[in-house]
Amino acid sequence: MTQAEQPTPANDAGSDDATGADAKRTPKAGPKASPATKKTATKKATARKATRKKSENGVSASGAATGKTPRKSAPAGKSPGGDAQKAAPKAAKQGATAAENAAGAAAGATERDAQASLIEDFDALSSYLADVSGKSQDVIAEFLGKNRDMVDIAQGRRSADPLNVGEAYKEMMQGLAADPATVMQRQFNLWGDYAKLMASASRRLSGEQVKPTIQPDAADKRFRHPAWTDNYLLDFIKQSYLITSKWLSGTVEELEMEDDYDKRRAEFYTKQFIDALSPTNFPMLNPEVVEATLASRGENLMKGLKNLLEDIDRGHGDLAIRQADLDYFKLGENVATTKGKVVYQNEILQLIQYEPTTEQVAKRPLLIFPPWINKFYILDLQPKNSFIKWMVDQGRTVFVVSWVNPGPELADKTFEDYIKQGCFEALDAVEKAVGEPGVDAIGYCIGGTMLATALALMARRGDDRIKTATFFTAQADFTEAGDLLLFVDDAQLESIEKQMDAAGGVLEGRAMATTFNMLRSNDLIWQFVIDNYMMGKDPARFDLLFWNSDSTRMPKNVHLFYLREFYQKNRLAKGEMIIDGETLDLGEVDLPMFFQAGETDHIAPHNSVYRTARLMARDGADKVTYMLAGSGHIAGVINHPDKKKYHHSVNEGLPETLGEWKEGAEKRAGSWWSYWMAWLDRESPGRVDARHPGDGDLAPIEDAPGAYVKVTS
């Protein structure tokens, strides 16, 4: 599993699972004022209320941004709201006496009401600016310390173009030069669209009601503020951007290029360029930012600057955008709270066994292999959206692997080590803990890729301890693995290897997170730039985004093997992968398997998961079930039945193509968990008395969630 398809509070799973009202992002609070300052601020606040009441006939704070007509127009050549500004001192004097009389009554107000505004309280403002100044000095020091990177680039030790974007655009320019007719036709199309826009804008300016020349996509949240439609100028800017974006992406798409890989990279980076230039990313054009600036008299921008400096400082000179309140969530307290014990550990994992909540449990224990790119508690966020807790409540003895957050001391670990020490030692430990030799296994994303590889090795050696296998958004055939294939050419892998060598033999978690966030840059990069640095909001108290920010490192050899052998060369699917001296064949895996995929998954596209299911069903499609869930890589998995969200499509068959499967599929409302649970109950029958951690041959080491998951990057 990866971070690319992380939901945002506004549009994906579990936003109501965060902390209720606390999940809402609010403007960041300034420093607390002294009692004397609070009293002064209370008087000033009362005076300001009187001032605003008497100056309501001026332009409202939101009027300039929304295009609404003010009660009294500003004279030509004067700034909007000028009369109100002139009237403010007079109104303030008239309200001063009333403010002083009201001060006594206001003294009993809550502390929040008594907080001094940064703009209006000199002491608070001075303290705030001093803090910002200190942060600025730290950031400058970090930047100067990292300037040696420029020397490394100049001397060839570090690539100036680590993503190899230049090569893609070089090929694109050659394609443009080789097909001038197409370029000219596309240029004429652009001029035609702009002519339509100019005509439409002229008619609207004259008072005529006209239909827009172009509309944003229905799923595009950037232009939902009414001002983008109501305000004549903003509407024109929006439509100009949409026309140019459509033209640019369409031009690149129609290009004939020698290398299809280079063309796909050119399309991807062109989209990044288009997303970055959205007018919503510019404070003077974004009506939400304009409104917030007018309402707070610029306080949002000051707080945004402080947020920016703090994020650069936290990233040690690089920008580390906060997606969630990193101080609010505590592992074992308000996330990862399902009761259990660590019953086994080695240098790369801790194995957690959870306490049962039913008197009887399924005979066969359940062993979960989450991805080591992220931390396991995506499956155990909070009780009302925890997959692990739900499984325990269904009467399953649940074990989960908590992977280590590796440092340089584990740089030499290999993918084979993760199979032996991760999968095989976990299987041995589960048998010692409960006395049952067979398990039902789950592999999530890269954990599923590892599980498929281990199953092929076990099949070759006659090891049948895994009785059923379930794959959450996991791939073993990477032929159609999506946009991540664009990051695995030789030049980029060489750059990644140098980056890991410089970090002591590990890939820093933030580096991988940035790549994944690029797959949904509007939601996972630019929206946070707007909220954090322009709106001055506090990061959200949202469990999924907190988990997304809690990234992990990866050992160099493990990560390069994954990128080269799976993504780049697809050796496992081709029957060419060698693990521990064995050439693996997925067709030899013969056990019941369940594949879950997500409709909008950008990391493990559902067509790629279907290819994997077909590949592993080569000797009998009746042993494999494929199910397609609504939403994506995270929300498609973490969808508690009680939420009654999304949908899932089921089809007991596994025809040759995904299109045929969809034609015969039945769409059902809500979560897929119960459908899968029914499948598991059929394939894994039998009940025994509940088994507690410590009942078997393994003594508990510590309480869940354990120590490994608490190691931060």
pLDDT band at 108 (very low <50, low <70, confident <90, very high): very low
Question: What tens digit of pLDDT does each residue of 154-171 get?
Answer: 445 555 555 556 666 666
What does pLDDT average to over the chain?
Answer: 80
Identify the pLDDT of residue 14. Answer: 38
Cβ atoms of 118 and 128 within 8 Å: the answer is: yes
Q: pLDDT-derived band of residue 619, with 50, 70 and 90 as boundaries?
A: low
Which position among 168, 234, 388, 445 bears the catalytic label? 445
Residue 509 has what pLDDT?
76
In the predicted structure, residue 475 carries a pLDDT above the cut 60: yes
> Cα–Cα distance between 617 and 550 in angstroms, integer?
36
Residue 132 pLDDT class (50, 70, 90 cuts): low
519 — pLDDT class (breaks 50, 70, 90): confident
Alpha carbons 540 and 22: distance in angstroms, whole number: 8
Tell me the pLDDT tens digit for each residue of 256-286: 777 777 778 888 888 888 999 999 999 999 9
Task: Report, as an integer, the average pLDDT of 398-423.
Answer: 96
pLDDT digits (tens, 9 = 90+) for 170-222: 666 766 676 777 778 888 888 999 999 999 999 998 889 899 999 999 889 99
pLDDT at 21: 35
Please say if 423 is a catalytic residue: no
Per-residue pLDDT at 152 exceeds 60: no
Strands 439-444 and 466-472: parallel
Topology of the domain comprising 340-710: Rossmann fold (3.40.50)
How many of the other CB atoms lie within 10 Å of CB of 265?
A: 26
Confidence of residue 22 (pLDDT cuts 50, 70, 90): very low
The Cα–Cα gap between 244 and 238 comes to 10
> Is it the case that residue 372 has pLDDT exceeding 90?
yes
- Cα 232 vs. chain centroid, distance in angstroms? 34
pLDDT at 466 > cutoff 80: yes
Residue 440 has pLDDT above 80, yes or no: yes
Band of pLDDT at residue 304, cut at 50, 70 and 90? confident
Q: Region 238-267: what's the mean pLDDT?
A: 85
Residue-level pLDDT at 318: 73
Cα angle at 311 between 305 and 313, to 5 degrees?
Answer: 105
If phi > 0 it is left, if psi is from -120 to 50 it is alpha, else beta; for residue 321 that is beta
Give tens-digit pLDDT for 638-679.
999 999 999 999 999 999 999 999 999 999 999 999 999 999
Domain ranges of the chain: 37-104, 141-314, 340-710
Q: How far is CA 381 from the centre of its chain?
A: 15
Cβ burial, residue 87 (10 Å; 0-12/13-18/19+): middle
| 8 A C-beta contact, residue 357 and residue 363 | no
Model pLDDT for residues 39-95, shown as the tens digit of each residue: 444 444 444 444 444 333 333 333 333 443 333 333 333 433 444 344 444 444 444
- High-pLDDT (> 70) share of the chain, %: 74
Give one DSSP letter per residue of 533-568, joined into a string.
Answer: IIS-BPPP--HHHHHHHS---EEHHHHHHIIIIIII
Q: What is the pLDDT of residues 312-349, one digit of tens each?
A: 877 777 777 888 888 899 999 999 999 999 999 999 99
